[in-house]
Amino acid sequence: MTTDKNGNLVHNQGVTAPLGFRAAGIAAGIKAKGGPDLALVFNEGPDYAAAGVFTGNKVKAAPVLWSQQVLKAGRLRAVILNSGGANACTGPLGFQDTHRTAEELATALSDWGTETGAGEIAVCSTGLIGDRLPMDKLLPAVTEIVHEMGGGMSGGTDAAHAIMTTDTVPKEASLHHPDKWNIGGMAKGAGMLAPSLATMLVVLTTDAVASAEQLDTALRRATRLTFDRLDVDGSMSTNDTVLLLANGASEVAPSQEDLDAAVFAVCDDLAGQLMADAEGVTKRVIVTVEGARGEADALTAARVIARDSLVKTAMFGSDPNWGRVLAAVGAAPVDLDPDLISVSFNGFPVCVDGTGAPGAREVDLSGADVHVLVDLRLGDGTATVRTTDLSHGYVEENSAYSS
Amino acid sequence: MTTDKNGNLVHNQGVTAPLGFRAAGIAAGIKAKGGPDLALVFNEGPDYAAAGVFTGNKVKAAPVLWSQQVLKAGRLRAVILNSGGANACTGPLGFQDTHRTAEELATALSDWGTETGAGEIAVCSTGLIGDRLPMDKLLPAVTEIVHEMGGGMSGGTDAAHAIMTTDTVPKEASLHHPDKWNIGGMAKGAGMLAPSLATMLVVLTTDAVASAEQLDTALRRATRLTFDRLDVDGSMSTNDTVLLLANGASEVAPSQEDLDAAVFAVCDDLAGQLMADAEGVTKRVIVTVEGARGEADALTAARVIARDSLVKTAMFGSDPNWGRVLAAVGAAPVDLDPDLISVSFNGFPVCVDGTGAPGAREVDLSGADVHVLVDLRLGDGTATVRTTDLSHGYVEENSAYSS
């Protein structure tokens, strides 16, 4: 649990922490091995403002194409999410499946007493790429989950469970602002918005009064510095989606600055939870590059280091092999002078002015957290990327995923 | 063994296959665990034309900085190579060590009867980054290896052994041209010129009559399509070096076209040997992208796929998870239309027009060779990259390299 000037972050409440949001998670039979695989987040109003950020991959899953279209109106009543299948690379029929899921949910919500159109519903999917979803199981479950959600004001944690794939724990965070409004969120995935290890799905909810434009601004500012800087393996999913819904139920309209800070705090916390639960992780590695010619160079250099397989395997082995950091940054397309570079591991200098520092080979990296700090000494550009080590567990989990 | 119209490639001869080249490999005590670690390639003349291609990493090892300088004159009498230490990130003192090694060899060769200057000697090093070389062991060994080489016209295989680091077998290839001239080479490393897994060192020799300019042209044409398209893990070494020496001893001056073809054939063969012996390799994976808008796009897309950890772990698991290929190529900074992409594994279509093909999940990838063919259907740009799977062996070998 962390505290900041905007309130207290807590981890045992998520999308249903704000007023006027309901959620549910059920087992629809989509996952071959069973277990919860369908989640619903429902906005009771009075407002329905919403914003979204999506994968930068040019190969986009059907639910991403659908939700991008829906979000153009800046309005959402509900989000339906499934694990057990990505519905990506499934062609026009896969898109029809997404459309039909939204229509089915609109009908079920309308029957339940809340007039809803399919165009007010975002759809998210995660799982194996390339297979059609089992619509014979999914469609009846869409009606079932509406009834389930009807039972009470909770369900956020059930929803967080239902979107898990290789996640080992559900991820939730919420913040209660001193000005009497709230924001909450749930996340799944062991990656980031772009790039990504596994699909990252995030739904954030708030009872603040905020326009779609304000939400969009806050969401883009937050994701740029949080999910977008979580880089487990440089891969980018076809399905990554981050949604933010606001219903104004608190009747409090925060300033843009307060909204930005709260959205950032929840995103940053969820990003940390995603890193800690990444596939096969044994080390949480923070890579900071400072002294670059501008933030863009710093970020590029940090990403190159964070993605380097030789750096990541050294971290797995608790091996302070700083030469691999030099080799990685030297390959980054940024301005640098090899003779000015300094590197420290967990605050211990291992390389000064491009050459090894005394005692560098004896630095103890056996703990679970490693901070790699690289100073290029050329300017004041700084950026930080979160990553993990490259372990046997990663290879094991990813070598037989579809089979 | 392969044959082409330019002659027969054989694998049991390397740098001493052409007339007028001597070589040796000895144990100098540089490697802590013992074994051969110093190699010499010596050109008896009458010509001393030479060309080199070096790592694109901005952090360059001292021997790379030295050899780049020497090669400006387009002339080499000898190459001295050591394993057991990269002499990278060692500052001005490390550069002095390289310089002193070249001077010591020049003196030893002159004493042996061949007047040689340090400026005619290239130096190559490979091993751990960041430590100074043990000059007390290296310098006496430089004189010793000249005497060793003086014993006979062979020694090429001993040299190929002495440059090995994590290599499990020495790599040699030579080609005897029907027009009565020869080219040979040796290589170490499990990577490529740029990028690279481990340092790649290659020395090629020919008894053809050729100018430094002709050699440079042939070498750049060959490396661009061979070593530069061997991408094991996207990392780039501080020490990668490829050298080509010509002495004219055959008195045959081949056309540029014949020289290009022969240099390419030997480089291509050595690149294949490097891939087959890459760290932890259990699969040899060839990624071809065709139908791109130009060769540059095809190469970029092929590299992104070849470097993708999720694709590589799937290959390790013999898992035909083609969706990961789509996700990888979709993240590549190239023009593409997701609905036009087709993918085959070993000739079996797994994805047609962006969606799964019947039977795709049952494709048998249990063999050691996998050919991934991606057709973007936008143009006629084609490129091929050699890579490997990402295995437990890779993680094991790289998680405790320096310790």
Residues 6+ apart with CB under 8 A from A91: B339, B353, B354, B355
B228 and B300 within one domain: no
Known binder of ligand: residue B8? Answer: no
Query: What mean pLDDT do residues A63-74 have?
Result: 97
Encode pLDDT of B351-401 as tens digits.
999 999 999 999 999 999 999 999 999 999 999 998 888 888 877 777 765
Q: What is the pLDDT of residue B286?
A: 94
Pairwise CB contact (< 8 Å): B323 & A395: no
Q: Please tell me which residue of chain A has the smallest CA distance to B306.
A: A235
Count of the separate structural domains present in chain A: 2
Tell whether B113 is covered by a domain. yes
In a domain, A403, yes or no: no
Q: Are residues A217 and A366 in the same domain?
A: no
> Do A56 and B398 lie within an 8 Å CB cutoff?
no
The C-alpha atoms of residue B28 and residue B36 are separated, in whole angstroms, by: 7
Mean pLDDT of B123-149: 95
Domain-ending residue, one of B220, B243, B276: B276
8-state DSSP, A33: T
Please check if B174 is assigned to a binding site: no
In a domain, B15, yes or no: yes
The 10s digit of each residue's pLDDT in A77-105 is 999 999 999 999 999 999 999 999 999 99
Q: Which of A276, A301, A336 is the last residue of a domain?
A: A276
Tokens 């199981």 correspond to what residue? A137
- On whether both B256 and B302 belong to a single domain, the answer is no
B195 and B234 Cβ atoms separated by less than 8 Å: yes
In this complex, do B401 and A314 lie within 8 Å of one another by their Cβ atoms? yes
CB A345 within 8 A of CB A321: no
CA distance B49 to B213: 9
- Res B6: pLDDT: 62
pLDDT at position A45 is: 95
Q: CB neighbours of B224 closer than 8 A, spacing ≥ 6? A: none
* CB-CB neighbours of A384 under 10 Å: 18
Within a domain: A228? yes
Whether B35 maps to a domain, the answer reads yes
Structural domain contains residue A309:
yes
- Residue B5 among known ligand-binding residues: no
Same domain, B290 and B366: yes
Element at A266 (helix H, strand E)? helix A256-276
**Predicted confidence band of residue B2 (pLDDT cuts 50, 70, 90):** very low
B351 touching A (Cβ < 8 Å) = yes
Interchain pair B234, A307: CB under 8 A: yes
* Domain containing residue A318: 284-398
Please give the average per-residue pLDDT across B237-258, as a whole number: 96
Query: What is the pLDDT at residue B205?
Result: 97
User: Using an 8 Å Cβ cutoff, are B54 and B64 in contact?
Assistant: yes
ipTM for this model: 0.81
Is B403 within a domain? no
DSSP result, B207-254: -S---HHHHHHHHHHHHHHTGGGB-SSS---S--EEEEEE--TT----
Q: What residue type is B62 in one-letter code?
A: A
Residues A226 and A324 in one domain: no
Is the same domain home to B333 and B371?
yes
Residues of A marked active site are found at 199
Residues B247 and B377 in one domain: no
The residue type found at B244 is L
Give the pLDDT confidence score for residue B166 in this predicted structure: 82
| Chain A residues touching residue B360 (CB < 8 angstroms) | 130
- The CATH number for B226's domain is 3.60.70.12
B403 interface with A at CB cutoff 8 Å: yes
Q: How far apart are CA A169 and CA A275, in angstroms?
A: 12
For testing the chain A interface, which of B125, B196, B239, B310 should be mutated: the one with the most A CBs within 10 Å? Answer: B310
Q: Give me the residue from A86, A90, A310 closest to B235, CB to CB.
A: A310
Residue B339 sits in a domain whose CATH number is 3.10.20.340
> Are B72 and B212 contained in the same domain?
yes
In a shared domain, residues B218 and B304? no
Q: Which of B257, B276, B295 is the last residue of a domain?
A: B276
Give domain status of residue B107, yes or no: yes
Same domain, A223 and A321: no
pLDDT interval class at A392 (50, 70, 90): confident
Describe the strand order of the beta sheet including A369-375 as a list of residue ranges.
Answer: A355-356, A348-352, A342-345, A369-375, A284-292, A381-388
pLDDT digits (tens, 9 = 90+) for B315-361: 999 999 999 999 899 989 999 999 999 999 999 999 999 999 999 99
A355 is in an annotated binding site: no
Sort out which chain B residues have CB atoms less than 8 A from A355's CB and list them. Answer: 89-91, 94, 130
Residues A107 and A13 in one domain: yes
Is residue B312 within 8 Å of residue B388, measured between CB atoms? yes
Shared domain for B60 and B98, answered yes or no, is yes
Using CA atoms, how far residue A233 sits from A317, A389, B267, in Å, is 17, 9, 31
- Average pLDDT (B276-282) is 82
Q: Kindly indicate the confidence band of residue A400, based on its pLDDT and cuts at 50, 70 and 90.
A: low
**CB contact (8 A) between residue B323 and residue A394:** no
Enumerate residues 274 to 303 of chain A having a beta carbon within 8 A of any beta carbon in chain B: none
